[in-house]
């Protein structure tokens, strides 16, 4: 590639990525030359400023039409812009949490944490804009490798060491499975570009190998579900969530999970939308039972196992697994509604989960424990923590007037609105939601109806701002969901994604 070709690309579409890359590089250089005893707090402000600048640049790009550069390996479209907003907003809130995280053994690595966090964010953002299997995989590995290191940053904590070890071993296995599935996709189509794969999947010659197409789908889908902690590749989540520092746990539960759904949507919807299954039936219809069983198993395992957890971080790990099961339900529909349903639910999940982890961080740092007993009598000693936590838990449970209810209701009605309607999947969703009330409401009961233990909890300004922002967001979206949905429909063309595929396939045919 010569210089003229390089200069001909519209590099401005990658402005958010360039900002994150530049700030991460700057952080690593500054941290290298800072004295060991110096406070790393300025690095948090710089990292937060970089993420905020990238977020603003995304909003400035909302009016830009679909643009692809680097031979269609990077693509700025409605899909990428919508999910990058979630990724950047989640990371910004995590940075506020991490700047107030008090752990002596993390202080040594505080600077390292911030540029690893931005590196992971950069990988997730590249996944959102990738239109090629290779760049998708590079983004996935950048996110994964940074996450492995962040999970083990508390080097003197044996649980943190154990979580990092389990994470990297299980992550390596999932990566191998994903690559195995992608190798079949490449072998069948001879392409790595997602749109060219979609074109070649409709080739009549592939009808002779329809079994291999189904096999490639199942293997790739199974490998990618590791990132969202869906069954059966979910067992890493409880140990990693428990052992990792709280800000890292919050990042994995929100940003990393969002990135997991991004790559699932990118690969599965684009690559297999025109692919034939066995007996010439469309593969996305043929594999519906497989996805339904996966979603149902994830919902059941997550909610039932959470009932017996005493460690609050493990409980939220199983809650996160269950939430992944709910978000998998729209994959069964194969309609354009899949994007807004998943986007809205992930937006609501971002606020309620980061808000809950903010409270957990404040309590666990003061009490020196992550046992559920740290919530005893919280309303009497710190009502400004108990009330927001109540709203976060109610939203996770899907109680009306919260964003979580609107998200679950949309997914539930989406499952019933199909032809034929998936009644049993909707029934599993409703039954497991009722099961989740037991452990969610138990937290509320402990806060309001148990004797007070411990002293009043002091809330730093940054943490108070996160709590107020997350609480207001889930209540506003619960009462007025049109605010988010109007923004989504006004700025992101839900049909653009499918039109891109049709246009690209039509172009290549000629």
Chain segment 34-59, per-residue pLDDT in tens: 887 777 788 989 999 999 999 999 99
Beta-bridge partner residues of 130: 74
- Alpha carbons 494 and 130: distance in angstroms, whole number: 18
- Alpha carbons 292 and 287: distance in angstroms, whole number: 9
Give the closest residue to 266 by CA, choosing from 5, 82, 39, 15.
82
CB atoms within 10 A of CB 9: 16
- Alpha carbons 404 and 347: distance in angstroms, whole number: 9
- Alpha carbons 199 and 370: distance in angstroms, whole number: 51
3-state class (DSSP) for residue 369:
coil
* pLDDT score recorded for residue 453: 67
* pLDDT score recorded for residue 68: 87
Please give the DSSP secondary-structure letter assigned to residue 225: T
* pLDDT score recorded for residue 387: 95
CB atoms within 10 A of CB 355: 27
- Alpha carbons 213 and 163: distance in angstroms, whole number: 35
Is residue 338 a part of any domain in this protein? yes
- Alpha carbons 151 and 301: distance in angstroms, whole number: 24
Q: What is the pTM of this model?
A: 0.94
Peptide bond into 491 cis (omega under 30): no
Q: Are strands 74-76 and 67-69 parallel, antiparallel or unpaired?
A: antiparallel
**How far is CA 242 from its chain centroid?**
18
* pLDDT score recorded for residue 206: 74
Beta-bridge partner residues of 291: none
pLDDT, averaged across the chain: 88
Is residue 209 a part of any domain in this protein? no
* pLDDT score recorded for residue 420: 74
- Alpha carbons 342 and 488: distance in angstroms, whole number: 12
Beta-bridge partner residues of 276: 282
Q: Residue 346, CB half-sphere, CA atoms under 13 Å: how many?
A: 31
Burial code of 75-85, b = ≥16 C-beta within 10 A, e = fewer?
bbbbbbbbbbb
Count of domains forming the chain: 1
Is residue 167 a part of any domain in this protein? no
- Alpha carbons 365 and 245: distance in angstroms, whole number: 11
- How far is CA 126 from each of CA 73, 129, 330, rounded to the nearest angstrom? 10, 5, 24
- Alpha carbons 316 and 302: distance in angstroms, whole number: 10
CB atoms within 10 A of CB 506: 10
* pLDDT score recorded for residue 105: 46
Burial code of 107-134, b = ≥16 C-beta within 10 A, e = fewer?
eebbbbbbbbbbbbbbbbbbbbbbbbbe
- Alpha carbons 316 and 309: distance in angstroms, whole number: 9
* pLDDT score recorded for residue 508: 46
Q: With residue 195 as reference, give the H or E element that holds it.
A: helix 194-201
Alpha helix positions (H), 9-157: 15-33, 41-60, 78-99, 104-107, 110-129, 133-151
Is residue 354 a part of any domain in this protein? yes
Residue-wise DSSP of 285-341: HHTHHHHHHHHHHHHHHHHHHHTT--BHHHHHHHHHHHHHHHHHGGGGT-STHHHHH
- Alpha carbons 305 and 133: distance in angstroms, whole number: 35
Q: With residue 413 as reference, give the H or E element that holds it.
A: helix 403-416
Is residue 319 a part of any domain in this protein? no
Instruction: Report angle CA 70, 75, 80 to the nearest 5 degrees.
Output: 150
Is residue 462 a part of any domain in this protein? yes
* pLDDT score recorded for residue 281: 79
Give the closest residue to 27 by CA, choosing from 11, 58, 51, 55.
51
Collect the ranges in the chain with pLDDT lower than 50: 105, 508-510
- Alpha carbons 266 and 260: distance in angstroms, whole number: 10
By the 10 Å C-beta count (0-12 exposed, 13-18 middle, 19+ buried), 161 is classed as: middle
Is residue 425 a part of any domain in this protein? yes
* pLDDT score recorded for residue 510: 43
Is residue 348 a part of any domain in this protein? yes
- Alpha carbons 308 and 323: distance in angstroms, whole number: 17
Domain span at 334: 327-479
Residue-wise DSSP of 229-265: T-TTTTTHHHHHHHHS-HHHHHHIIIIIHHHHHHHHI
């Amino acid at each position: 590639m010569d210089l003229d070709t390089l200069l001909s690309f519209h590099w401005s579409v990658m402005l958010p990525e360039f900002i994150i890359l530049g700030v991460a590089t700057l952080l690593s250089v500054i941290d290298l030359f800072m004295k060991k005893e110096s406070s790393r707090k300025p690095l948090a402000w710089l990292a937060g400023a970089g993420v905020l600048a990238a977020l603003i640049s995304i909003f400035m790009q909302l009016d830009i039409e679909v643009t692809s550069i680097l031979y269609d390996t990077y693509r700025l479209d409605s899909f990428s812009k919508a999910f990058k907003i979630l990724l950047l907003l989640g990371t910004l809130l995590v940075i506020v949490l991490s700047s107030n995280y008090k752990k002596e053994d993390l202080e040594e690595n505080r600077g390292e944490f911030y540029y690893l966090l931005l590196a992971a964010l950069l990988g997730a953002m590249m996944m959102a804009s990738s239109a090629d299997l290779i760049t998708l995989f590079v983004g996935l590995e950048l996110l994964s490798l940074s996450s492995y290191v962040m999970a083990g940053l508390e080097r003197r904590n044996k649980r943190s060491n154990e979580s990092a070890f389990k994470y990297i071993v299980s992550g390596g296995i999932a990566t191998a499975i994903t690559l195995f599935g992608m190798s079949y996709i490449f072998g069948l189509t001879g392409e790595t570009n997602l749109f060219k794969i979609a074109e070649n999947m409709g080739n009549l010659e592939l009808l002779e190998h329809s079994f291999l197409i189904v096999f490639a789908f199942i293997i790739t889908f199974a490998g990618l579900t590791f990132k969202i902690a869906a069954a059966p590749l979910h067992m890493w989540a409880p140990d990693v969530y428990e052992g990792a520092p709280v800000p890292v746990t919050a990042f994995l539960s929100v940003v990393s999970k969002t990135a997991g759904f991004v790559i699932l949507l990118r690969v599965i919807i684009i690559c297999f939308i025109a692919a034939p299954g066995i007996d010439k039936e469309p593969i996305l219809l043929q594999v519906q039972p497989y996805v339904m069983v996966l979603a149902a198993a994830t919902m059941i395992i997550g909610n039932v196992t959470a009932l017996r957890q005493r460690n609050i971080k493990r409980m939220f790990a199983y809650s996160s697994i269950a939430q992944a099961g709910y978000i998998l339900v729209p994959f069964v529909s194969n309609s354009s509604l899949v994007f807004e349903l998943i986007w809205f639910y992930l937006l609501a999940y971002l606020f309620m989960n980061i808000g809950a982890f903010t409270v957990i961080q404040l309590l666990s740092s003061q009490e020196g424990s992550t046992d559920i007993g740290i919530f005893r009598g919280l309303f009497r000693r710190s009502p400004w923590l108990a009330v927001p936590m109540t709203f976060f838990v109610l939203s996770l449970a899907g109680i009306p007037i919260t964003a979580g209810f609107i998200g679950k209701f949309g997914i539930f009605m989406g499952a019933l609105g199909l032809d034929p309607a998936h009644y049993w999947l909707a029934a599993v969703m409703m039954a497991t939601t009722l099961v989740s009330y037991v452990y969610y409401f138990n937290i509320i009961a402990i806060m309001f109806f148990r004797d007070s233990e411990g002293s009043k909890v002091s809330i730093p300004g940054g943490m108070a701002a996160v709590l107020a922002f997350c609480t207001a967001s889930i209540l506003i979206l619960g009462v007025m969901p049109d605010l988010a949905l109007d923004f989504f429909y006004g700025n992101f063309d839900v049909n653009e994604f499918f039109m891109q595929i049709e246009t690209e396939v039509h172009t290549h045919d000629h």
